Amino acid sequence: MAASGKVLPLLAVAAVLAAALLYAAPFSKSLGGEGCSLLPHDHFWIASERVVTLGRVGPAAVEVKGGLINAIAVGDYRSFVLRRPLVDYGDAVIMPGLIDVHAHLDEPGRAAWEGFSTGTRAAAAGGITTLVDMPLNSFPSTVSEETLKLKLDAARDKLYVDVGFWGGLVPENALNPSKLESLLNAGVLGLKSFMCPSGINDFPMTNSTHIEEGLVTLAKYKRPLLIHAERIPDVASDDELDDELDPRSYATYLKSRPATWEESAIRDLKRAMKDTEVGGRSEGAHLHIVHLSDAETTLDLLKDAKQSGARLSIETCPHYLAFSAEEVPDGDTRFKCSPPIRNAANKENLWGALLDGHLDMLSSDHSPSTPDLKLMEEGNFMKAWGGISSLQFVLPVTWSHGKKYGITLNQLVSWWSEKPAELAGQKNKGAILPGYHADIVVWKPEAQFHLDDSHAVYHKHRNISAYLGKELSGHVLSTFVRGNLVFAEGKHAGAACGVTILANSNNIRSTVFAREMKCSGTFDFLNIFIHSISTVSEFAEAQAPGTDPRVPAPTSVSGGKRRPPASTQTAMATTNASNLTLLLASTLPSRVRLPTRLLRAPRASPLRLSTAAASSGSRTLTSPASLETPEAAEELRLETESALEWGCVCARLADFASTAAGRAACAEGRVPVGRSREESERLLEQTAAAVALLSSLTPLDFGGVGDVSAVVAAAARGRLLAAREVCGVGRSLRAARGVFEQLNGLAEEMPDGRYSPLLDILQDCDFLTELVQMIEFCLDSNLSMVLDQASDKLGTIRKERRMNIDVLESLLRDASTKIFQAGGVDSPLVTKRRSRMCVGVKASHKHLVPGGIVLSSSGSGATYFMEPRDAVQLNNTEVKLAGDERAEELAVLGLLTSRISDSQPKIRHLMGKILELDLACARGSYALQINGVRPAFSDRDNSTQLDPSSACSVFIEGIQHPLLLEQFHGMVKESAAKVGNGQLSDEVHVSAMPVPLDMRVKNDTRIVVISGPNTGGKTATMKTLGLASLMSKAGMFFPAKGRPRLPWFDQVLADIGDHQSLENSLSTFSGNISRLRKIVQVVSKDSLVLIDEIGSGTDPSEGVSLSTSILKYLASRLNLAIVTTHYADLSRLKSVDDRFENAAMEFCVETLKPTYRILWGSTGNSNALSIAKSIGFDQKILDRAQEWVEKLLPDKQKERQGLLYDSLRDERNLLESQANEAASVLSDVEGLYNEIRSEADDLDNRVAGLRAIESHKGRTAKRSPAEATQGASISFAPAVQTSKNTVDLRGLRVAEASHELQMAIDGCRSYQVLFIVHGMGTGAVKECALGILRSHPRVAKIEDESPLNYGCTVAYIE
């Protein structure tokens, strides 16, 4: 019985929680598309029968919270309680999202090729959750800190998946460690270089020396160097291509880039690879060979280097594993890539190397272009752009072609997720583990599809992909990026919320810039009784059903075993009672056992509340007010501004701002609001002056004033400013002075001082005239370039350089003309390669430039760019002079940057004042737009008989809500335009103009209770006053009549709307009352409080009582409160408290519609039945409701109160008769008590006599129970239980009960009766008590518990 009493409540709880498990969020109905995720949850579970995690494949559920994986329930997850929405994918595969470390997104500069938006949409549709963008094919290439910033700017708000960036290793920075470190410090994840011409002019190739020096720098950062390993021989080989070969033939192109190019590059890297070994010159650096194509000699060389200890990794691409040269059609340039697709035997060798672990990972090498560059109609392999467009298809392509080789899902994860994550330094990606990013792909490997025209393709140009027309297996269902469902059922999320990933300076972890999903930072723990455990390694060794035992343990790029991050110490457990594995990530001991298995991310230790009166069983809790911080008041302010739509007013004000800083401030809600009455009055003065200025049709000219705050801050931090940035500062300073001079001139024309409030803003500003003159002397503001006159040395250098260039260009023109005439080039070509002037010549005619130096070649290799021997010295001079010129320009810019840095406080002050002036003018323009009037701040104590309005603290006539008014004017204009264009019928529907409201609140009123019909305008009235209060504090006019007056409120606090929250377990009532609690805590004597439908959402009687108490409490602690209600009892407070006032929203009984006018001093009705009738409600229901209304009228209530009084009186009489009977019983009990007491008084004498007899006999031994029974002359005290002769053992442990009973027996007087209460629990205490009583020498006899006294034993003590 006792055990079942404990189990049943637990079973009940389990049943409730199991019911919660069965709730699975309807997946198809959750697709929205308005925000970052198609799934409208931040905390949810996803599950399937095939989840790839910890080297196994089997049933599991994954908990996602705040963008991270919070827990993993492995096994029979349906038996585990999931208190969140569950998306069950059945038998689809859930595995880590793919990470593609080799993709060309081509932005900025070549967005027509692909672009961040289309590229990341295609990636999401293909299950890719992270891309690393290559530094070339965009323009400019990412080879410096500045060009990286251009790429980051281009990526903003366009990413559907996370994107990191590789930087470029080129000759310009390879031998300049400072430039290279600047690029690495800016956040690139590593570097990429070409050992052959890249085909991109601003990304020249590098040689082994460049690579070796670059590795030395990379070793400090422990980041990889990715190498395109193809190398053109220095001297043309004997087997040069025959000009007569067909360029449409793929065999021709394959011959142009033989496998020996890859072999030659790897041989040239021998020393570089040696340097990465332990103890080497570049120890800590990492070489990564991209898109390996040759699986013969080149692969053997790389395998040898790995075995020798080189820190080396290798990737290949799906197109090398899917296609072979024999099946590439002639003229189909979609298959052109570099290095090229080789023969079928080579493809088989690549698969073998991948399966054997010699190749580490896969990447797409997605390299699209515009269709015209692919020359698909011409079919010329030698001229077409090379690159396979493949982002969306790499997962199904890999799976489709790998099935015949027996690849497993774990191998896919290793090649596409784990190894790429390690290469890119992403320690929180690439696996499904707690604490990792929730980057997940859900797909069906068995689903087949034909990649035809009907299949949705999200690349910029679908027709250039070589995979079109192929039959593939593996359909992607859903893609999650940081917990956001970005792709599902062929639909993308409505917003691009992927982030750019930048490495920090020590490469410990990546730093995320751009939008980051808000996360609580902690993870909920389950209340689990810790009972059993096994370790991660034990669990990983136990292969679940569906796990391939052939799959080796995941290994890192360098061969080490991959482990979860250090912050995620994983504990696991097994149990015989459950097939579920709950994996818990925490700092649990190594030997703890759980009844289930949970893997969960760590959370902060929960806060604990201690009680001050634990001994008495009561709790002393800290006052809620003491727990509040200034953040609570700030939170209320922001919520109030949101409820009153203050942000919309600020955004509207942005339309009238003239400067970028002003528009940004308004758009972000940073409109200045007076922190005191004096400050607000100053803002109102400025607005009035701006209205007068704009009324004269002479607006101030802010043209040229830019937002230079970021530039000036950068200069103060020590960054060298570019010429355009310095020019921007100069223009802004000059424009600021122009604004002051214009305003000063206008003020002089108006001696009445009407513009003084505006002029005062700029009176004490330093316009830094000397700095402006210096900038204009040194720089051309139009061209943003340093002028020759900036320094004498710069002028001399430029003069010499112009002369040298003239000679060099003349020489090269002559040389190019001669080459053209000799047939060595189609047209004379003078260009620049690797910062040196050169000429173009066909590869077959390079002999026309004897002694010339090959600087580069075209992408096809058919054209060389050569520097003639006679031009070498001139080029050397040009390079030297260019460097000298740049150095002198930097010196000039450094001087100007220093001056700007020194002037930072003055510039910031001046720009702040310009912003203040701009916002004042914007407020003036807005006031004219809405016909606003200037409000005045009232004083409750300054009423006069001459001014009736002075008797009111709030006196506003004809106020209209500014947003509703603008909406009306906008609709009128739109309708007029449509009528003018003939787009509307004769009847034009336009919303009515907002009804003007009159607001009059007397000086002695503190609480205004507004009642009236539903949809009658109560809330709108309250919002209008709240918004008018905020606008007046911010110096803004609002639409009204006359001269409105209202108090200056230090705070405007609002409880408007439904604050129900399932996430925080708040009902409508608890949400509202929670908000009111905060308001009560922060309110002050000068506050305005707005409460909508106070006390609603609960029992009306309790709601009225609580509301009354709150309002009376607030009445003495604030300036004014406006409350709306449907409770008539709140309107009656006016009759008992002068601080209360009533107001009602007018309702027209004829039309059964509200008029939206407010009647002060009146009480309104809800008119719920009338409104229900007007919308066509069933009349029978309304008639029945009317009967109930009549029953609840006051006179009916009095009748019912009389009946209730009579009933209570009869009840009282009944209770009195029962009390008399109880008194009679009490009298009988007292008689019995007195009788027992008289017998007890003689006990002492009887005990003394017995002791004398015993002493006389000299008996010392213990008498037996039989002897005790024979002593008829011995009598015990009456067996009447009292508190003094009772010992209560209930609730004690056996040892404690034994001690208590021994003490009680020892303390008993002789011949005392002792009652032992042991209860009816497990029986352990009872057995202990009986054992003691039977063996104790003083216990004469015992009486077991009786039906009248369960759980109690009586003992007779000698």
For residue 84, what pLDDT is reported?
66
**pTM greater than 0.85 (yes/no):** no
550-601, pLDDT tens digit by residue? 333 333 333 333 333 333 333 333 333 334 445 544 333 322 232 333 444 4
Average pLDDT, the chain: 80
Please give the pLDDT value at position 102.
97
C-alpha to C-alpha distance for 818 and 840, rounded to whole angstroms: 12
Structure tokens at 703: 């043209």
Q: Give the closest residue to 267 by CA, choosing from 222, 244, 298.
A: 298
Is 1268's pLDDT higher than 50? no
Classified as helix, coil or strand, 449 is strand
Sequence-ordered alpha helix ranges (H) in 207-343: 208-221, 250-256, 259-268, 270-275, 297-307, 318-322
pLDDT tier, 945 (very low <50, low <70, confident <90, very high otherwise): low
Q: For 441-500, what is each residue's pLDDT tens digit?
A: 999 999 999 998 888 999 999 899 999 999 999 999 999 999 999 999 889 999 999 999
| Residue found by looking up tokens 């009672």 in the block | 577
Is 90 exceeded by the pLDDT of residue 373? yes
Quick: pLDDT tens for 978-1019: 445 544 444 444 445 678 888 899 988 999 998 877 666 788
Total Cβ atoms within 10 A of residue 876:
12
Whole-number pLDDT of residue 994 = 72
Does the pLDDT of residue 393 top 90, yes or no? yes
DSSP symbol at 283: T
pLDDT at 835 (0 to 100): 81
Q: pLDDT tens digits for 438-448? A: 999 999 999 99
Distance in angstroms (rounded) separating the CA atoms of residues 281 and 215: 9
Greater pLDDT, 762 or 244: 762
Does residue 235 carry a pLDDT above 80? no
For residue 976, pLDDT over 60 is answered with: no
Q: Which tens digit of pLDDT belongs to each residue from 652-706?
A: 899 999 998 999 999 888 899 999 999 999 999 999 999 998 888 778 899 889 8
Paired residues of 1216 in beta bridges: none
Q: Report which of residues 1135 and 532 the model is more confident about.
A: 1135
Given this model, what pLDDT does residue 696 score? 80
What pLDDT, on the 0 to 100 scale, is given for residue 718?
85
Report the alpha-carbon angle 393-464-246, nearest 5: 125
Sheet order of strands, 1051-1055 included: 1051-1055, 1087-1091, 1120-1124, 1007-1011, 1140-1148, 1153-1160
**Stronger pLDDT, 1291 or 1267, i.e. the higher one:** 1291
Query: What is the structure's pLDDT at 748?
Result: 86
pLDDT of residue 578: 39
Tokens 């949809």 correspond to 1015
pLDDT number for residue 1063: 47
Query: In which order are the strands placed within the sheet that holds 224-228?
Result: 167-168, 191-194, 224-228, 286-289, 312-316, 361-362
Alpha helix positions (H), 1083-1123: 1100-1115
The band of 1326, judged by pLDDT with boundaries at 50, 70 and 90, is confident
Write b or e for each residue in 959-994: b if 16 or more Cβ atoms lie within 10 A of its Cβ, otherwise e. bbbbbbbbebeeeeeebeeeeeeeeeeeeeeeeeeb
Check residues 1182 and 636 and name the one with the higher pLDDT.
Answer: 636
Query: Which residues, 6+ apart, have CB-to-CB distance to 1354 below 8 Å?
Result: 1279, 1313, 1314, 1315, 1316, 1342, 1343
Q: For 31, list phi and psi in degrees, rounded to 5.
A: -70, 120
Residues 431, 113 contacting (CB under 8 angstroms): no
Q: What does the pLDDT read at residue 579? A: 46
Using a pLDDT cut of 90, give the percent of the chain over it.
47
Q: Indicate if the pLDDT at residue 30 is higher than 70.
A: no
